[in-house]
């Protein structure tokens, strides 16, 4: 079992929303960067995927925002793979404010491995399981603590499902085009 990969980001002014908080979309961008760093540290940098015409795409992302993050705050994102099976992988994210250790957000992404030319999911190479070493752990309510119990998406959350970057779904099971957001259980887009 491996340790979570951690990355730190300082909040810049242009990343704030109208209320002066870190914009929710920026949390997601930072989580994506942490996932890319995790893949790179495992030996699979973005160029590796480009050369093979493959990529990981997010099929489902659930984020629970717990505390506000303001200008100048530094957040640390711990990320790890909790499960790998078939064509998909679950990646966990635990975000804390470094100044006081407060957990500010918690997320889980279901990533799907895709053949970019065909736009369809494919099985990931068997060596991925050894390289990413799924931990089988999901974060609990205590910042930084992990547990073997499964985390279920909270009732108050933001859910983002992405099939791909076009209007063509990547598979029949992912029949909705591109993107939809669900805030507090209500479809928005």
Per-residue pLDDT of the chain in tens (189 residues, 90 and over written 9): 457 899 999 999 999 999 999 999 999 999 999 999 999 999 999 999 999 999 999 999 999 999 999 999 999 999 999 999 999 999 999 999 999 999 999 999 999 999 999 999 999 998 888 888 776 655 443 333 333 233 333 333 344 433 333 334 334 343 333 333 333 333 333
CA–CA distances in Å: residue 139 to residues 32, 145, 151, 172, 176: 18, 6, 7, 31, 29
Q: What is the pLDDT of residue 137?
A: 58
Rounded to 5°, the CA angle 111-183-57 comes to 15
Q: What is the pLDDT of residue 132?
A: 84
What's the distance, Cα to Cα, between the start and end of the chain in Å?
A: 39
CA–CA distances in Å: residue 78 to residues 66, 81, 111: 16, 11, 17
Q: Where do the structural domains in the chain lie, given as residue ranges?
A: 5-187
Distance CA 46, CA 144 (A): 28
Spatial CB neighbours of 139, under 8 Å, sequence gap ≥ 6: 92, 94, 106, 145, 146, 147, 151
Instruction: Tell me which CATH homologous superfamily contains domain 5-187.
Output: Hotdog Thioesterase (3.10.129.10)
CA–CA distances in Å: residue 94 to residues 21, 22, 45: 18, 16, 22
Structure tokens at 11: 């909040």
Structure tokens at 183: 């805030």
Q: What is the pLDDT of residue 33?
A: 96
């Amino acid at each position: 079992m491996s340790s979570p990969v951690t990355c730190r980001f300082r909040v810049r002014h242009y990343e704030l929303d109208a209320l002066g908080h870190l914009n929710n979309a920026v949390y997601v961008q930072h989580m994506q960067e942490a996932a890319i760093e995790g893949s790179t540290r495992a030996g699979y940098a973005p160029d590796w995927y480009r050369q093979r015409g493959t990529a990981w795409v997010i099929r489902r992302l659930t984020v629970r925002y717990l505390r506000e993050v303001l200008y100048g705050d530094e957040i640390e994102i711990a990320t790890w793979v909790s499960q790998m099976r078939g064509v998909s992988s679950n990646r966990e994210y635990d975000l804390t404010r470094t100044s006081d250790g407060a957990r500010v957000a918690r997320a889980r992404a279901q990533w799907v491995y895709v053949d970019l030319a065909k736009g369809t999911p494919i099985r990931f190479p068997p060596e991925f399981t050894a390289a990413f070493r799924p931990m089988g752990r999901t974060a609990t309510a205590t910042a930084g603590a992990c547990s073997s119990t499964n985390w279920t998406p909270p009732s108050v959350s933001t859910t983002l499902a992405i099939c791909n970057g076009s209007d063509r779904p990547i598979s029949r099971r992912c029949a909705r085009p591109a993107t939809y957001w669900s805030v507090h259980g209500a479809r928005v887009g």
